[in-house]
Structure 1
Amino acid sequence: MRHRPTLSTKLLAMGTAFLVVALASIGFTLWVTWKLEGGAAAVNEAGRLRMNMLRMVLAQQEESPEKFAQLVQGFDTSLELLRTGDPARPLFVPWSDATRAHYHEIVREWRALRADWSAQPPGRREALQRGDAFVTELDAFVQAIEVQIARWTAGLHLFQLMMVALAIAAAVAFMALSYLLVLNPVMRLQQALARVQRGELGTRLEVEADDEFGQLAAGFNRMAHALQASHRDLERKVREKTASVELQNQRLAALYQVSALAAEAGSLEALTQGFVQQVRSVAGADAAAVRWSDVANERYVLLASEGLPPSMVEEEHCVVAGSCECGQPPETARMRVIPIVAHSAMQLPHCREAGFQTVVSVPVRLHQRLLAEVTLFFRRPFAMADDTHELLESMARHLASSMEGLRATALEREAAVAAERGLIARELHDSIAQSLAFLKIQVQLLKGAVARGDAAARDASIEELDTGVRESYADVRELLVHFRTRTQDEDIEGALRATLSKFEHQTGVPAALAMSGQGRPLPPDVQIQVLHIVQEALSNVRKHAGARRVLVRVERHPRWRFEVHDDGRGFDPATVPPDSLHVGLGIMRERAERIGAQLRIDSQADGRGACVVLELPPSAADGEPVDAPTAT
């Protein structure tokens, strides 16, 4: 790059040149004007010479010699002033060949005239003639001066025209130089900035000089390079972040799918088969398997697999713990990447025979208990990254939780079935079994009456048998209704009305339902227990109360409250043993305890009926488990 003057130097040189030209033109104009003023003063002074000549002619004839001498001296002074000039006035004779010739002629004639006048004063006529001749020479001198002044004036006008032309040319040159030196570099910089704004970060400016614009162009290039490098670095980071986010999304999606699979799977086989597919896809494995470990962690049973040869599935259906590196004992179980090597005592030959080169063993633990093992098979060398390690551990934890959830659900289902069977057994024992026991006793009494030939006792036993059979039949129908009870709506009102309608149809006793207040609906499991309690209370009314009317009152607020009123004979709850099987109190208490409700019976054996009151806790509408209070 060649060295050039800086922009400041260029602008300073241009300004200096313009200043010098302006000062020179102004100085020249002032000098010419000064000369013109001096020439004008010289013309005036020459005019004074003409006046003085006429006065001397008259003074010679009429004035005294002293006065004449003063006029002569003044005339000499004026001639000398014209010759030397006076810068202070200013007064200058614009000397030229003509003005100089006329001046010398005037001086010569004046000397001759003065010498003649000094020797012999002329007469008036002669003096006037010679004075006129001298004045004519003075007029020629003045005319020569005026010609010279006219030339200077014409020259000044021409110079002024030249200065105007020079000013125009200077303005044009200044605009051109401004465009070349300032505007064009600025426009190039603006265009480069616009390209950078459009995203063309590879834009660069050519550095043509080392002046200010060259430094600015170099700075722009450095800035553009920095922006381009930052943009590339940002793009790289964005790509890395995007890849990381995509990887995280894939992990979250995998975990979500495992969680969804755990929620949807109804059996251990379905859970593990779906998990095998997910973990194989996430890890990019060629095959995968899940092995269940028994309680003693002595054997691993193959639950599900994908991608394994059928022969390998058959041969490794059950692996003894410690017989292979992928069937780890619980005390040393950890996630491991196992390369398949030939002639290893701790490796079964099936993986090597199937063409696998690497096996990854992932133990499935829950609370330090080894539940299963996930095995991944690769037909290539595999190095596990930290994020893959964390993902597999998370998926293994989800699998362990899901397996434990399935086990807990099965246990809960078994416990619920056992509890319901117990309640059914109590209801059967409370109703049908007792009725059958009563019928058995009546059969024995009937046999005795027949043997004795007691007709009255026989007829009474037959009547009791008929009544017992009818009651047993009614109990069976009532139990069937109880077992088929379901809640179809969120509100329990519909189920209660259906229950009361069946009660009226079976007994002919009018039954009414009164609902009050507003509140959240009860969960289905709570509704079932409440309906069974109400049905049991109605069953007791049918069997023992002899009522003419039944009223069921329900309050939704501030807490759920159910009351079953009858106008029957009533009874004294204090006289009924807790294990009584004749009024179903034990069954109602058990159902109330299961939902954390409070059961109370208000009745007296005075014919004013009975009232069964069931109060639910405030959290019953939320379906939260509560501590069961004691029933009274």
Structure 2
Amino acid sequence: MKNSLLLRFGTVITILFILAVSGMMSSMIIAETAEGYAAAINQAGTLRMQSYRIASSLVHRTKFHDELATTRTRSLVTEYNQRLFSHRIHDVLSKGPHSNVTETYHQVESQWQQLMLPNLDEYLTLSSTDSLTAEQRRQLDSSQRNYLALVDNFVDDIHSFVEALEIDAEEKNQQLRIIQIVLLSLTFLVALVSLYLTKTRVLNPLRNLLACANAARHGDFSVRSRYLGDDELGQLGQAFNVMAEDLSVIYADLENRVRKKTHDLEQSNRSLELLYSATKRLSDSSLSEAVLIAVIHDIEALLGVNNGTICLGQPGDDHAYRYASTRKKDFLSQEKRDSQCALCLGDGRSHTFKVAAPGSQMEVNIFSAPIRDKNQQYGVLLVELPESMQLEEWQERLLETVASHIALAINVAKQVTQSRKLSLMEERSVIARELHDSIAQSLSYLKIQVAKLEKAINEERDKREILLVSAALRSALNGAYRQLRELLTTFRLKVTDADLGKLLSGTVAEFENRSGIPIDFVNQIGNCQFTPNAEIHIIQIIREALSNVIRHANATRARVALECDQTGRVNVSIEDDGIGINDEGDMMQHYGLPIMKERAEWLGGRLTIEEQPGGGTRINLNFNITDASNTESKKLLIEQLKHG
């Protein structure tokens, strides 16, 4: 990629690397070329001193033939030659120094070779001779004087050579400093350029992208990246802009969906609230006009509709009964009520129709929902719609559901009424049978005895016979009175909220206290649930059986046991250790046993009476809880109620 950030940073690093390598290489090269200059300068400085030492050895000579001085001078000259042609100086000269250095060196060398060394050689040759002539002495002195005369200029040339070496060494150091400064300046410039590029091409785009990312994190997808270059960050900015655009679309779609879901949830909540309030009102109290008006008010408050009405009737009926309404004045025309009732009832389906408002020409939109439970329609639920309102589908379904709850409440109320009638008819049948088998038979017996008494009086029979009839009458009256009291006690029996076990325990305790006979009670019904009618029949059978034990068995002990297994099979047994019975068929004609048999049939069970092997009587009642509410006698009674 031509404008890649990586390529740019790589270029900057490469430039910095080249500058660093250049600085190091130049330093190494200059240091290499400058190497030996100090030694050469030192060596050149010794040439000046050596020249003066040679001059000193010439000046301090005391005699013409002085072997020691000659040797010393020759040694100094040899040393001077070594120093002049030393490798220290020639190494510097071989590195190509400045021309001034070479020129001054060659000047020193030529003066030494041409002027200074010939005089010294002549001097040393003459001074080595044992006997000198006058001419030789004069030449010796001339050589000495010539050297001493030339030495100062020669030393000045040497000084020029040393100064040229120093200047050349300083120039090389200056070159090194200039190169270092230039390279450092270039490095600093590259660093500044890289920092500027980093700020403009990296930091600013990153800050812009970070600000955009933070805005997007807080839900603002309208921000866009301003940096759209050709490098990686520019491509990232373009990608972010595309992503923000897509997220904006997605977020807007999600917001629309959330608003829709929220609206749906609000509708569901309002629907549930209305259904809950309607169900609670219809179930907490008996169905009445006040309860239905409260339900209509709930509908008006939650759906925003106007007056509501509940009419009872079926499709095809000419007249409907207005059961409950929140409208003060009926909107149906008195002249056309029959046809308008047909508009409300319709064909058994939800529909909307219009009627003229009372006292005006304006039409009112009315929605009619059938009050139906399964296939039975009881009427319609009518609500008036505001002029600009059109019911939505969920509102129509909600009104239909409320109407079905009202239908269910009407059906339950009818079932409760029918159940009460059934219980009433059932108990009346039992009362009639007991009156027939007890008081009616006693009255018949008394009627016969009264007839016998009248006949005895009319025929003026013996007083003793009349007294026997009178005693029979008294005995029959006492028996009838006793039976009436027992029947009154039985009819006044109430089933409280206590369970069957506690009720039977109280009944057993009552008979035990009345008779003084110990009566054991075994309760093993567990969690079996009995209907109120079944509880009454069980209690009455046990009471009748215990009454027979007290009156006729001459027993000293009795036992009542109630058992119920996991299948709902119930067994009730009443045992005593009395005199027993001779014939069950005869037994069934006395002591209220026919009533016990009839109650067992109402329970869908079987009642048996048998003597125990060790003496006494046992009465067993067997039935199933599920059969107790579905017996033939009960079905027959229900049919009688249906047909009046």
Deviations along 1:49-73, one digit per CA (max 9) or x if unpaired, are 99xx99xxxxxx99xxxxxxxxx9x
Matches within 5 A, 1:396-411: 396-411=403-418
Counterpart check, 1:152 vs 2:152: no
How far apart in 1 are the matches of 2:295 and 2:509? 51
Partner of 2:456: 449
Where 1:552 maps in the other structure, the secondary structure is strand
Could you tell me how far apart the structure 2 residues matched to 1:155 and 1:391 are? Answer: 101
Q: Is the 8 A contact 1:82 1:93 kept in 2?
A: no
Return the offset for 1:433: 0.9
Q: Secondary structure at the match of 2:311?
A: strand
Q: How does 1:110-509 map to 2 (within 5 A)?
A: 112=114, 123=125, 126=143, 129=147, 137-138=157-158, 140-153=160-173, 156=176, 178=198, 181-183=201-203, 185-187=205-207, 189-190=209-210, 193-194=213-214, 196-197=216-217, 205-207=225-227, 211-267=231-287, 269-270=289-290, 272-293=292-313, 297-307=317-327, 309-312=328-331, 315=334, 319-320=337-338, 324-328=342-346, 332-338=347-353, 340=354, 349=356, 353=360, 355-454=362-461, 455-488=463-496, 490-503=498-511, 508=515
Query: Matched residues in 1 for 2:484 and 2:339: separation?
Result: 55
Contact 1:492 1:522 (C-alpha < 8 Å) held by counterparts? no
Question: What secondary structure does 1:93 align onto?
Answer: coil
What does residue 579 of structure 2 align with?
A: 569
- Counterpart CA distance in 1 for 2:10 and 2:260 is 55
1:449-481 Cα distance to aligned partner (Å, 9 max, x none): 112222222111111111111111111111111
- Shift of the 105–607 alpha-carbon distance from structure 1 to 2, 3 Å rule, reads closer
Shift of 1:391: 1.8
**Cα displacement string for residues 402-450 of structure 1 (whole angstroms, at most 9, x for unaligned residues):** 2222222222221221111111111111111111111111111111111
Which residue pairs with 1:102 in the alignment?
104
1:628 and 1:451 mapped to 2: Cα distance? 54
Range that drifts further, 100-109 or 416-425: 100-109
- 1:218–1:155 distance in 2 versus 1, CA, 3 Å: same
Larger Rg: 2
**Whole-Å separation in 2 of the counterparts to 1:209 and 1:232:** 29
CA separation of 1:521 and 1:103: change in aligned 2, threshold 3 A? same
Residue 299 of structure 1 aligns to a residue in which SS? Answer: coil
1:528 and 1:584 map into 2 onto residues whose CA distance is 16
Cα distance in 2 between the residues matched to 1:122 and 1:495: 166
Task: Measure the CA separation in 1 of the matches of 2:88 and 2:416.
Answer: 144
- Paired amino acid for 1:94: H
Secondary structure in structure 2 of the residue aligned to 1:450: helix
**Alignment check: 8 A CA contact 1:573 1:601 kept:** no
Task: State the TM-score, normalized to the length of structure 1.
Answer: 0.76
Letter in 1 for 2:265: V
Name whichever of 471-480 and 485-494 sits farther off.
485-494
SS in 1 for 2:35: helix
Could you tell me how far apart the structure 1 residues matched to 2:274 and 2:88 are? 124
Give the Cα–Cα distance (whole angstroms) in 2 for the partners of residues 313 and 465 of structure 1: 72
1:28-49 residue CA offsets vs partner (Å, 9 max, x unmatched): 3223213213756876997999
- Asked if the contact 2:208–2:226 (Cα under 8 Å) also holds between the matched residues in 1, the reply is no
User: How far did 1:304 drift?
Assistant: 1.5
Seen in structure 2, the aligned counterparts of structure 1 residues 595 and 171 have a Cα distance that, compared at 3 Å, is: farther
Shift in alpha-carbon separation, 1:6–1:624, aligned structure 2, 3 A: farther
Q: Is contact 1:564-1:613 (8 Å) kept?
A: yes
User: Bigger shift: 353-362 or 207-216?
Assistant: 207-216
Q: Which residue of 1 aligns with 2:65?
A: none
Q: Letter of the aligned partner of 1:258 in structure 2?
A: A
Q: In the superposition, relative to structure 1, how do residues 557 and 497 fare at CA in structure 2: closer, same or farther (>3 Å)?
A: closer
| Cα distance in 1 for residues equivalent to 2:290 and 2:593 | 44
Give the drift of 1:496. 2.9
Q: 1:31 aligns with which of 29, 45, 64?
A: 29
8 Å Cα contact 1:552/1:564 also seen in 2: yes
Q: Deviation per CA, 1:598-624, whole angstroms, max 9, x where unpaired? A: 4332227x993322123454xx4xx88
Say if 1:355 and 1:379, in contact at 8 Å, map to a contact too: no
Work out the CA distance in 2 between the residues paired with 1:482 and 1:10.
111
The equivalent of 2:545 in structure 1 is: 537
Preserved contact between residue 39 and residue 93 of structure 1 (Cα < 8 Å): no
What is the identity, as a one-letter code, of the residue corresponding to 2:576?
A: D
Mark the CA change 1:629 to 1:412 in structure 2 (over 3 Å): closer, same or farther.
closer
Identical aligned pairs, as a percentage? Answer: 25
Residue of structure 1 in register with 2:74 after alignment:
none
* Cα 1:400/1:108, change in 2 over 3 Å: same
Cα 1:522/1:627, change in 2 over 3 Å = same
**Structure 1 residue 387 displacement after superposition:** 1.4
Amino acid at match of 1:419: E
- Residues 460 and 625 of structure 1: CA distance in aligned 2, closer, same or farther (over 3 Å): closer
Correspondence for 1:14 among 12, 21, 24: 12
Query: What is the number of equivalent residue pairs in this alignment?
Result: 588
Q: Which SS does the other structure have where 1:513 is aligned? A: strand
How many Å separate the matches in 1 of 2:123 and 2:12? 71
1:612 to 610, 614, 619: 619
Query: What amino acid maps onto 2:329 in structure 1?
Result: P
- Shift of the alpha carbon at 1:591? 2.5
CA deviations 1:491-521 (Å, max 9, x no partner) are: 4344334434544566x45242333557226
RMSD over equivalenced CA pairs, Å = 4.8
Q: Does 1:93 align with 2:97?
A: yes
- How far apart are the structure 1 equivalents of 2:509 and 2:165? 150
1:583 aligns with one of 591, 594, 598: 591
Question: What CA deviation, in whole Å up to 9, does each residue of 1:106-133 have, x standing for no partner?
Answer: 465367569989xx99956649949978
Change (3 A) 1:371 1:586: same
